[in-house]
């Protein structure tokens, strides 16, 4: 007959052995930068505060499937930021609370004919300049692929009605491990960096180049992924080995359709969904 105490001790030993094996076979994750702890980027981050609140509207596909998405990384560096996940924000209480114009100045970072270009226009000509200082500015940034971002705006009437701001970009994205639909398209973290840079230079914000930490951490991410892709002992990104030309921007032009939603778009029905035949 098995001794009870021996049985309990043996069971504890087996449980401990199982935990050790799990630690060795399963990667531990950092829930700040959303990367394996051994590849954690938090050591390079220098979080800073801003007057403007940046809200990242993250598409569920970006959150669940993108291993090297930069949205969470951006939110981890910006103290005054928030991530809201979804596709249709029409009835989102998290989103709609920032539409209270008595307290907030809600803006959308997205191109369009009516969008105020922070790079090419004088800030004195912007009709929201004084409101930017009087109220709490909130800038919504779409975090997802261009097709996903396009769908988010199509389905969210409250998002389409927001005043837009944009910037001009002449430098191709440094996100060389990803494809872009156009050479002017950038990753989320690059876009936020350029946005903050324009706001800083216009005098609406002041953080003495602290925002450059966004790009520094971003480059560390790209550097690590490129290193992994050339290591024969590690599984490469999407199972493909990359060539020697690492600095060349990878662009897949979308010639058959616009990769962003134009402002004159009108839904076929109130929901914005395609009608079933």
pLDDT, one tens digit for every residue, the chain (277 residues): 567 677 677 767 766 665 555 455 456 778 888 788 888 899 999 999 999 999 999 998 887 765 678 999 999 999 999 999 999 999 999 999 999 999 999 999 998 889 999 999 999 999 999 999 999 999 999 998 888 999 999 999 999 999 999 999 878 777 776 666 566 778 899 999 999 999 999 999 998 889 999 999 999 988 888 887 776 655 544 445 444 455 555 545 555 455 556 665 556 554 444 444 4
* Number of domains, the chain: 1
Residue 101 maps to a domain: yes
In a domain, 228, yes or no: yes
Place of tokens 């993250």: 58
Asked whether residue 34 is assigned to any structural domain, the reply reads no
Position 261 in a domain: no
- Determine, yes or no, domain membership for 26: no
Q: Note the Cα 140 to chain centre separation in Å.
A: 11
Domain with 130, as residue range(s), is: 49-232+247-251
**Cα 122–chain centre separation:** 28
Contacts of residue 148, Cβ cutoff 8 Å, sequence gap at least 6: 59, 61, 62, 87, 142
DSSP state of 42: G
* Residue 113 belongs to a domain: yes
Q: Which residues contact 46 (CB under 8 A, 6 or more apart)?
A: 77, 210, 213
In a domain, 262, yes or no: no
The model carries a pTM of 0.78
CA distance 20 to 13: 11
Please indicate, yes or no, if residue 2 is contained in any of the structural domains. Answer: no
């Amino acid at each position: 007959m098995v001794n009870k105490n021996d049985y309990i001790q043996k069971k504890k030993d087996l449980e401990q052995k199982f935990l050790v094996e799990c630690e060795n076979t399963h990667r531990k994750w950092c829930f700040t930068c959303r990367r394996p702890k051994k590849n954690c980027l938090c050591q390079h981050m220098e979080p800073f505060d801003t007057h403007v609140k940046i809200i990242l509207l993250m598409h569920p596909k970006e959150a669940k499937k993108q291993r090297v998405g930069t949205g969470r990384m951006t939110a981890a560096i910006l103290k005054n930021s928030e991530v809201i996940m979804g596709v249709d924000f029409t009835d989102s209480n998290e989103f709609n609370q920032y539409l209270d114009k008595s307290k907030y100045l809600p803006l959308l970072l997205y191109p369009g004919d009516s969008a105020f270009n922070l790079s090419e226009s004088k800030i004195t000509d912007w009709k929201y300049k004084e409101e930017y200082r009087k109220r709490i500015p909130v800038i919504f940034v779409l975090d997802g692929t261009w097709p996903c971002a396009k769908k988010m705006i199509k389905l969210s009437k409250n998002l389409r009605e927001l005043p837009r701001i944009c910037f001009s970009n002449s430098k191709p994205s440094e996100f060389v491990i990803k494809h872009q639909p156009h050479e002017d398209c950038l990753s989320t973290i690059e876009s936020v960096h350029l946005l903050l840079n324009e706001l800083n230079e216009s005098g609406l914000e002041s953080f003495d180049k602290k925002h450059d930490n966004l790009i520094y951490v971003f480059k560390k991410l790209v550097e690590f992924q490129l290193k992994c892709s050339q290591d024969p002992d590690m599984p490469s990104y999407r199972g493909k080995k990359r060539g020697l030309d690492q600095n060349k921007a990878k662009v897949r032009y979308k010639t058959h359709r616009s990769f962003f939603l134009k402002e004159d778009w009108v839904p076929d029905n109130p929901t914005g969904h395609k009608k079933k035949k």
